[in-house]
Amino acid sequence: MATDLRRRLASLLVVRGSGHGSDGQRRYPRWELPNAELQRLLADGVGGVILLGGSAAELRLRTEQLRRWADGPLLLCADVEEGVGQRFEGASWLVPPLALGRLFAQQPDQALTLAERYGRCSGRQARLLGLNWVLGPVCDVNNNPANPVINVRAWAEEPEAAGLLAAAFVRGCQAEGVLTCAKHFPGHGDTSSDSHLELPLLPHSRARLEAVELPPFRAAIAAGVAAVMTAHLQLPALDAERPATLSTAVLTQLLRGDLGFGGLVVTDALVMEAISAHHGPAEAAVLAFEAGADLILMPADADAAIDGLVQAVQSGRISEERLAASLERRRAALERCRPAPAALQALDDLQKLLEPQELQLSRNLLDLSLIRHGDARLPAGPGLNLIRLDTQLNAPQLPAMAPALLRPAALGYSPTVFDARSPSPWSDDPAAPLALDRLAPGPVLLQLLVRGNPFRGSAGGEEPWPAVLAQLLAAGRLAGLAVYGSPYLWEQLQPLLPPTLPAAYSPGQMPEAQAVLLERLGLAAAPLEGGFTD
């Protein structure tokens, strides 16, 4: 009986694994379980895996392997908010959702059509590669430009647009037989800190939540979203003691009761500092389950989390009826999933992954969201291609063959890339913050790959880019500007540019976005660039 109870509770855990096959390829070994532990947990009944890393081909092999290891049906998911190619190379990597929100303000019908196609593309490719759950859409309203973690991941900056676009994504993705997940409930858009690093405080009243934060979740629920993910937020208006993930007032009374959601409730990762800094893995899992969560995502220690849940049921802290309800919701969700086609086995079959209409969707989204400043082309070098890269390990947006590197090089601009791990390029003079004496001479193409990202701790607005532009212009050295990612940074810098200076903005940071933007600045495809064609 005890063994049966343990297996039933284990099925409600979702643990982290690498999309790569071998332990040595894990990108984040602190979070991604080694294969021996992953195989043991799946054999013991753990019911879900969240994956990151690897190519599309590797993902297909990996999902098949995990299903062989498992004792029962698995939920296999990934944070592919911007298309499957955001995490798994070879699939479609689409512009961030906020680009659709900006388009919605001008062309609402077109934006909604594209959002549904965005969902269909994500769902179809996820299913072909063995995933049955897309951890999106982000239903947060990004009404705080300084938000360090949501930012361009949100679908819009206004509640109505965010809800309509998120609902369109849900309909498109779930039409492909793949579950979706509205996150981060009840709304992470108006925070100035990152719950990966600390517990943010959202001081708004219930009336304000009803007006701004909750409408997109209501829209997603009305569209039939399969799951809702909790936010690690402190909301005193709803619960003065516990964060939303651990709050009965938020998950049971508000989400289940007031919003009428009957699907799966999944925690955000319990290993995040907002939770793990205050609660051990067993107590965090029990508190989340007591509050109304069905699935426990990424506990800091899976065995301890299961032990804690077993003890809670045996002691009567969690009732058998409550456990049965979560198990039934998980079973019902899995029944909604369409399996991956068994025929997709060989690498040659993966050529079917990118359909022509999906390639066109990716390009259309880039074209529609690009903003061009001035009509001039970037002048020929020799010069300096100065690239600011987001603080991200294993940055997939800047591989060795990236257009942002190769195209300017073909025009005579030598690259210098810096991020938080690089030697500081800053001087002590706030009026001239860039240490030009440490940089190569000549005209400067400034390329800024800046956006809010988990673990970054900021949205990039703290760096003195307006002063840098003024400094380079005064020195006669600014040849061009490219901003990838944050629309807020672009809106801050564009008014400072001379009318004829070649500059452009793209919400995407991926190599295809670089190719499209640099094409508009007159930089043709470079030799050896690969598949990023004009």
pLDDT in tens, 499-514: 999 999 999 999 999 9
Task: Fill in the amino acid letter for 335.
Answer: E
Beta bridge partners of 446: 386, 481
Residue 295 dihedral angles phi and psi, to the nearest 5°? -115, 140
Cα–Cα separations (whole angstroms), residue 371 to 175, 374, 482, 533: 32, 10, 10, 19
Strands (E), 239-354: 264-266, 296-297
Catalytic residue status for 184 = no
Choice among 239, 268, 294, 390 that is catalytic? 268
pLDDT at 349: 63
pLDDT at 534: 46
Cα–Cα separations (whole angstroms), residue 179 to 74, 161, 296, 411: 13, 22, 17, 46
Q: Confirm if 240 and 246 have CB atoms less than 8 A apart.
A: no
Task: Tell me how far apart the alpha carbons of residues 427 and 501 are, in angstroms, rounded to a whole number.
Answer: 25
Catalytic residue status for 239 = no
Residue 133 dihedral angles phi and psi, to the nearest 5°? -150, 120
Residues 6 or more apart whose Cβ sits within 8 Å of residue 476: none
Domain 370-520 annotated CATH 3.40.50.300: no
Cα–Cα separations (whole angstroms), residue 153 to 94, 125, 358, 482: 11, 20, 20, 20
Q: Confirm if 416 and 440 have CB atoms less than 8 A apart.
A: yes
**Share in percent of the chain as helix, strand, coil (round to 5):** 40, 15, 45
For 446-464, b where at least 16 C-beta lie within 10 A, e where not — what string? bbbbbbbbbebbbbbeeee
pLDDT at 190: 79
Task: Tell me how far apart the alpha carbons of residues 247 and 315 are, in angstroms, rounded to a whole number.
Answer: 21
The pTM of the full predicted model, rounded to 2 decimals, is 0.94
Task: Fill in the amino acid letter for 95.
Answer: V
And the tokens for 78?
A: 């990934």
Which residue ranges make up each domain of the chain? 10-338, 370-520
pLDDT in tens, 145-186: 887 778 899 999 999 999 999 999 999 999 999 999 999 999
Pairing of strands 503-506, 371-373: antiparallel
Task: Tell me how far apart the alpha carbons of residues 1 and 133 are, in angstroms, rounded to a whole number.
Answer: 31
State which residues of the chain have pLDDT below 50. 455-459, 533-534
Fold category of 10-338 in CATH = TIM Barrel (3.20.20)
